[in-house]
């Protein structure tokens, strides 16, 4: 055994030996010949950081040969150690690709990389070993966090890159994939030239003339009349009869429907023009022979009273002989009568026109004389079809057999 000086030199040499790597090159986790060795000491005993062979029975954390910790360095396999060199740089995290997850290796096939040997150890060495262990664990934790972040980011990128149809299917389980065009009828574009739903056609004349229209049976208008514009030439031969049609304001009834029905009815072969003795022409100006007037029940009563007739009691129409007006009660025009019923509105309106114009042409009332026969057009059919115990059938025509 040497003296004190020799013992001091030995301790100094031991301290330098564990700080200085082989050939004077500091060891920060970069092995010889470009192959990363993460702290693998000599004789296959792993150091603090683990390494490519950090599995199996040799995973004794941080315990190098002869009990002296190694700080992540390595030597060029089997070369002698040098006691001289520079102090190692501060610890830096290892670099290089992480070990693939799930990789398994045979410890028997792992290469053995010899590490530096140390003859003695001190209290400082033990503290350094504990510090190296802490740094190693910190590095492992940082690597684990980085791995988790990489997995999360990869998943987010995968979600963003996922096709919209796939994402939609994932959000709504049970639905068919969105790329199935047959299931996306609500998203298909409608061609601009595609035919729209057919609009309901307006009612025909025959449909309108057969309807009842709402009206107050006690309605009294303002007494102001307006002529229905237009001209309808007489279609036949014989004596020309000109007339005008006026409609009281505020009735809410179709004045053109009224005017058309009057013209068609008077010129029908079953009407007063049937035998060719006369023909009827509608005008809206000039000097007509009479004015067929559609008026409210109240106004009708006023004009009929001018000729000594009371129409208010039974809400009927009249020919006001003392004036130029043939008054058609708007209530009867819109609602008809019980004698004809709601299913014979067209026939009732034809009878109403023929009867009142007949008075203007000089014909008086005529009653039915045969049970069950057609009532004469000049019978008061609005009031009753049973007169003097003889019940007849409703009839709108002057010459019903024509």
Q: What is the pLDDT of residues 236-252, one digit of tens each?
A: 999 999 999 999 999 99
Regarding whether 280 and 142 lie in a shared domain, the answer is no
First to last CA, the chain: 160
Regarding whether 264 and 379 lie in a shared domain, the answer is yes
Instruction: Provide the whole-model pTM.
Output: 0.53
User: What's the pLDDT at 233?
Assistant: 97
Write the pLDDT tens digit of every residue in 289-300: 999 999 999 999
The counts of H helices and E strands in the chain are 8, 8
90 within domain boundaries:
no
Regarding whether 352 and 256 lie in a shared domain, the answer is yes
Contacts of 153 by beta carbon, 8 Å cutoff, 6+ apart: none
Range of the domain at 26: 7-78+111-147
347 within domain boundaries:
yes
The tally of domains found in the chain comes to 2
Most confident of 1-10, 51-60, 81-90, 387-396: 387-396
User: What's the pLDDT at 198?
Assistant: 78
Regarding whether 339 and 217 lie in a shared domain, the answer is yes
Regarding whether 120 and 28 lie in a shared domain, the answer is yes
Query: Mind giving me the DSSP string for 14-40?
Result: HHHHTTS-GGG---SS--GGG---SS-
Q: Between these two residues, 204 and 100, which has the higher pLDDT value?
A: 204
189 within domain boundaries:
no
169 within domain boundaries:
no
Regarding whether 130 and 28 lie in a shared domain, the answer is yes
């Amino acid at each position: 055994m040497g003296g004190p000086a020799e013992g001091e030199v030995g301790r100094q040499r031991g301290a330098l030996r564990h700080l200085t790597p082989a050939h004077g090159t500091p060891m920060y986790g970069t092995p010889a010949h470009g192959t990363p060795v993460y702290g693998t000491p000599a004789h296959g005993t792993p150091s603090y950081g683990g390494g490519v062979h950090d599995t199996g029975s040799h995973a004794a954390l941080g315990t190098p040969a002869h009990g002296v910790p190694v700080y992540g360095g390595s030597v060029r396999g089997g070369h002698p150690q040098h006691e001289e060199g520079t102090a190692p740089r501060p610890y830096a995290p290892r670099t290089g690709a992480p070990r693939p997850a799930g990789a398994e290796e045979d410890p028997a096939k792992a290469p053995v990389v010899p590490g530096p040997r140390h003859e003695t150890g001190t209290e400082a060495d033990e503290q350094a070993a504990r510090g190296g262990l802490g740094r190693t664990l910190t590095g492992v934790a940082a690597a684990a966090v980085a791995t988790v972040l990489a997995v999360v980011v990869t998943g987010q990128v995968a979600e963003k890159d996922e096709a919209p149809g796939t994402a939609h299917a994932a959000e709504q389980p049970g639905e068919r994939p969105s790329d199935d065009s047959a299931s996306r009828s609500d998203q298909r574009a409608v061609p601009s030239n595609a035919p729209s739903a057919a609009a309901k056609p307006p009612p025909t004349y025959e449909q309108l003339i057969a309807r009842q229209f709402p009206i107050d049976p006690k309605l009294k208008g303002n007494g102001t009349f307006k002529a229905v514009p237009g001209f309808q030439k007489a279609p036949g031969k014989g004596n020309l009869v000109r007339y005008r049609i006026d409609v009281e304001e505020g009735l809410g009834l179709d004045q053109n429907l009224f005017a058309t029905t009057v013209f068609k009815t008077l010129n029908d072969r079953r009407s007063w023009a049937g035998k060719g003795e006369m023909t009827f022409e509608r005008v809206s100006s000039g000097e007509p022979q009479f004015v067929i007037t559609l008026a409210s029940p109240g106004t009708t009563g006023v004009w009929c009273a001018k000729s000594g007739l009371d129409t208010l009691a039974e809400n009927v129409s009249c020919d006001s002989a003392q004036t130029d007006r043939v008054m058609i009660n708007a209530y009867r025009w819109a609602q008809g009568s019980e004698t004809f019923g709601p299913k014979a509105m067209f026939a009732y309106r034809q009878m109403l026109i023929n009867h009142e114009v007949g008075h203007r042409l000089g014909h008086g009332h005529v009653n039915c004389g045969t049970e069950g026969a057609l009532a004469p057009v000049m019978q008061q059919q609005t009031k009753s079809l049973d007169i003097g115990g003889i019940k007849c059938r409703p009839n709108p025509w002057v010459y019903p057999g024509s």
